[in-house]
Amino acid sequence: MNISRSEELYRTALDLMPGGVNSPVRAFGSVGRNPLFIDHAKGSRIYDVDGNAFIDYVCSWGPGILGHAHPEVVEAVQKACVDGLTFGAPTGKENRLAGLIRDFVPSMEMMRLVSSGTEATMSAIRAARGYTGRDKIIKFKGCYHGHSDGLLVQAGSAALTQSVPDSAGVPASYAMQTLVALFNDRDSVRELFENNKDQIAALIVEPVAANMGVVPPEEGFLEFLREITAENGAVLIFDEVITGFRLGIGGAQEMYGIKPDLTTFGKIVGGGMPMAVYGGKKEIMKNVAPTGKVYQAGTLSGNPIATTAGIKTLEILGDHPEIYLRIEQKAKELAEAFRLRSVKRQIPLHVNQVGSLLCAYFTDVDVKDYAGALTSDTKAYAEYFGELLEHGIYVAPSQFEAMFVSGAHSDEDIRRTIEVLTA
C-alpha cells in the first residue's frame, strides 16, 4: 500500500499541530503507525490522499449512520449555505430540529443546541448543579464525556491507550468534585451516595459504555441508577452522544425503557456537522439563561448549516426505521465473523455487540466492565488493525473504540469484511 502522500502531509502537520492531529486518537499512536490523511469519502468508503480506498467502520466516530456524504443531506446543506452560514439569531430550523428530537425522545421536554458533545455534557452538568445547588458529580471509570475539566477523570478511549487517565492542566480542586464509580457495579455507586449525603448534583453515564470498547449495562443496572438518583435528589444524565439515534431512533433510553432527567446528544444529531444538544426536564432546563441563572451560550449554537444536516439526517432515520434492523443484523454477522476468527486462528477474542455498535476484545474474558476491557491484548489489536488496513478495511486505531455499522454498508461490504476477518 502506497502511503507516501499521507506521510508527507503528516510530516508537515507534525510541525503545525501537536502530534500532527486535531484530536489525539487520530494519531494512530496506539497501533504504532502514522495516520492516513483523507481526501474524500462516499457511502461506506473512505479514500486517502494516495488513492487507497477502505470500507470504513469508524464513520467519523459515530456520526456517519447513513454513510458518508448522503446525497439528500449534502443537497440540503448546499441549499442552506446559499442563504447564509450563520446569523447569531434564532431560526425556524432550530425549532424543527428540537421538535424532531422531542418527538423521537419524549424525555427531551426542553433543550439547548450547542456545537460539540463536550459542550453538551459540560452544560448539562452545570444545569444539574444550578438546579440542585450541589457541587459533586458521579461518573464511571472508562466512560468518556468529552474533555471538560471535571469530566477528564478516568475517561476511557484515547485517554486509556495514551495512559493519561487524568489530564495535566486539570486543577485537582476540579477533579475532586468528580467521584468515580465502576460501571455495572451497584455497590460502588451506593457507597458514593452514602458517603456524600445530599452533596451529589448529578450522576452521568453512557447507558451503553462505548468508549471502553462496547460494554452493555447488566440487567437492572440502569433501573438501579434511575432509582438511586431519584432517592438522593440527584439528576440522572444519560450521555447519549454515541447511543442517541444509533440504538434506535429513541436511543438507549428507549431501548432500555429508562427516563433520565437530562440527556446529551452529539455525533449523529449533527449529521456530520458540529452540533450537539443537551436537554430534558423543563423544571431543570428553565434554570438556564436567559430564563434562569445557569449561564450557557454559544456564537455558533444552532448554526443553520449544522442544523440543516441534523434535521435531514433525523428525518431520514425517522422515515426509515428499517435501517436500524439492517445495521443491527450486519453487526451481528460481523460479531459472528470475529468468533469464527477466534476459533480458526486459535486466538482469544471476546465480542460485545449492541445494535450497530460492536467491539472485539483480544481477551478470553467476558468484558462486563472497565477492568475486563483492560485485559485486552492491545498489541494483538494493533496487528489486527494493520492486517485489516492492508486489506482495505478501516477500523478504529484503538482497542477501546466501537466499530460502527452504517446504513451505507452493503451486503457486499459485509461479505468482504467477513472474508478478511475469517481468512
Ligand X SMILES: *Cc1c(COP(=O)(O)O)cnc(C)c1O
For ligand X, the closer CB: 213 or 266: 266
Cβ atoms 264, 276 nearer than 8 A: yes
For ligand X, the closer CB: 56 or 206: 206
- What x-and-dash track marks residues 232-271 binding ligand X by CB under 6 A? -------x-xx-----------------------x-----
Q: Which of 334, 247, 278, 279 lies closest to 44, judged by CA?
A: 334
Q: Does 30 bind ligand X (CB under 6 A)?
A: no
Give 225's contacts (C-beta < 8 A, 6+ positions apart). Answer: 189, 203, 205, 236, 258
CA angle 211, 212, 218 (to 5 degrees): 100
C-alpha cell at 296: 450557557
Rounded Cα–Cα distance for residues 40 and 403 (Å): 20
Rounded Cα–Cα distance for residues 241 and 38 (Å): 24
Cβ atoms 361, 6 nearer than 8 A: no
C-alpha cell at 185: 457495579
Q: Which of 20, 23, 13, 21 lies closest to 401, judged by CA?
A: 23
Active site residue 267: yes
Q: Does 401 bind ligand X (CB under 6 A)?
A: no
With contacts defined by CB under 6 A, name the span among 111-119, 293-301, 303-311, 321-329 that binds ligand X: 111-119
239, 261, 369, 413: which is the annotated catalytic residue?
Answer: 239
- What x-and-dash track marks residues 132-171 binding ligand X by CB under 6 A? ------------xxx-------------------------
10, 57, 131, 144: which is the annotated catalytic residue?
Answer: 144
Q: Which of residues 279-298 bind ligand X (CB under 6 A)?
A: none
Give me the residue whose beta carbon is nearest to ligand X. 117
In the list 56, 206, 261, 328, the residue contacting ligand X (rule: CB under 6 A) is 206
Active site residue 144: yes
Rounded Cα–Cα distance for residues 158 and 164 (Å): 8
Minimum gap (Å) between residue 24 Cβ and ligand X: 11
Strands (E) across 157-266 are located at: 178-181, 200-205, 235-239, 262-265
For ligand X, the closer CB: 54 or 238: 238
Size of the site for ligand X (CB under 6 A): 14
Rounded Cα–Cα distance for residues 241 and 366 (Å): 25
136, 139, 141, 267: which is the annotated catalytic residue?
Answer: 267
- What x-and-dash track marks residues 313-342 binding ligand X by CB under 6 A? ------------------------------
Interface residue list for ligand X (CB under 6 A) = 116-118, 121, 144-146, 206, 211, 239, 241-242, 266, 276
Q: Which residues are catalytic?
A: 144, 239, 267
